[in-house]
Structure 1
Amino acid sequence: MASDAVTLIMNDHRVMEQLFDRLRAGAGDRQLLLDEIAARLTAHSHAEELQVYPSLPAGEAHHGADEHHEAERMLHDLQRMGPDDEGFPDRLDEFIATVGRHVEEEETTFLPSLRDAVDLAGLIEMGAAFEQVRLQELAVAGISVS
């Protein structure tokens, strides 16, 4: 089911927040959760950078991409560290806070501006392109999405 880019991006944010909650709670296999978060974060970031950010002013697109890369670096550090490492909880909190700031900025500044600048048909077309890239990347990572 197609949807507009803003809705799809926000839906991804909510999924990530749920995964963060599960990871913090120690629910399930924490390494598998980290791997799923990595796959979803990478797919989301690449889809935004390829299909949404080109519609933004260059400075905003560059800033968003920098934030994605920083979050991915932090996540890779967590994966290398492992959930049982003594420093893991603090690093996890830093990572989640970094992603949280990015999400808040997107949802309060970037996405409302995008919604104002692009008509609904354009947002739906952008959403379809975003979703195609995201789902392809998730499939490569072995994550099935219903």
Structure 2
Amino acid sequence: MSSTDVVELILQDHRRMEDLFRTMRNAEADRAAALAEFADLLIAHASAEEDEVYPALRRYKNVEGEDVDHSVHEHHEANEALLALLEVEDTASEQWDEKLEELVTAVNHHADEEERTLLNDARENVADDRRAELGQAFSKARTQYLESGCGSVENVRKLVAAAGD
């Protein structure tokens, strides 16, 4: 039985993203397929966090509201970097490598910060049963986003445009 602890689920996604970065950096790999999986995962993950996890964490006095706001801001930055990579047509180009590194930097910075701040605070201040409830809500939302093809270039364009408003 896999864990339903929201902290563990978020960490699992972060590790999967790191695996996909390794694949996307490998010129021999199917970079386009790895990017498609990554795009769906990133958008579903961030959207589920914003829908289900962040609003709940805001209610805990030992979780910094500013950390939540900062995480949302970093999701927008990651989406912009993702869009830039999705718009590169040639996966063997220097432009691909450049845009990939910008995406890696944005996502790894966010994941690292989130793990040190929000997730540690959640582990310390949110009861196990509540983390399990949040994990179920996160998983459900994440699955719905994944099933909707949320990582398509059209959808990522819409998200980036909406964040810019």
Would you call these one fold, judging by a TM-score over 0.5?
A: yes
Equivalent in the alignment of 2:149 = 141
User: 3-state SS of the aligned residue for 1:81?
Assistant: coil
Q: Is the 8 A contact 1:47 1:133 kept in 2?
A: yes
Report the Cα offset of residue 142 of structure 1. 8.8
Equivalent residue runs for 1:78-117 within 5 Å: 78-82=85-89, 83-117=91-125
From 29, 41, 66, the counterpart of 2:73: 66
**What CA deviation, in whole Å up to 9, does each residue of 1:87-134 have, x standing for no partner?**
221221121011111111111121010111210010000000000001
Runs of 5+ in structure 2 lacking a partner? 59-63, 152-165
Equivalent in the alignment of 2:11 = 10
Equivalent residue runs for 1:8-47 within 5 Å: 8-47=9-48
Alpha-carbon distance in 2 for matches of 1:39, 1:76: 12
Report the Cα offset of residue 2 of structure 1. 5.1
Deviating beyond 3 angstroms after TM superposition, the runs of 4 or more aligned structure 1 residues are: none
Equivalent in the alignment of 2:128 = 120
Q: Is the 8 A contact 2:41 2:146 kept in 1?
A: yes
Q: Which amino acid aligns with 2:12?
A: N
Alpha-carbon distance in 2 for matches of 1:27, 1:124: 39
Number of aligned positions between the proteins = 143
Q: Is the 8 A contact 2:44 2:150 kept in 1?
A: no
Q: Is the 8 A contact 1:39 1:138 kept in 2?
A: yes
| Identity, % of aligned positions | 37
Equivalent in the alignment of 1:75 = 82
Q: Which moved more, 1:27-36 or 1:15-24?
A: 27-36
Q: Is the 8 A contact 1:43 1:135 kept in 2?
A: yes
* TM-score, normalised via structure 1 length: 0.90
* TM-score, normalised via structure 2 length: 0.80
Q: Which amino acid aligns with 1:31?
A: A
User: 3-state SS of the aligned residue for 1:102?
Assistant: helix
Alpha-carbon distance in 1 for matches of 2:103, 2:3: 31
What CA RMSD, in Å, does the superposition of the two structures yield over aligned residues? 1.8
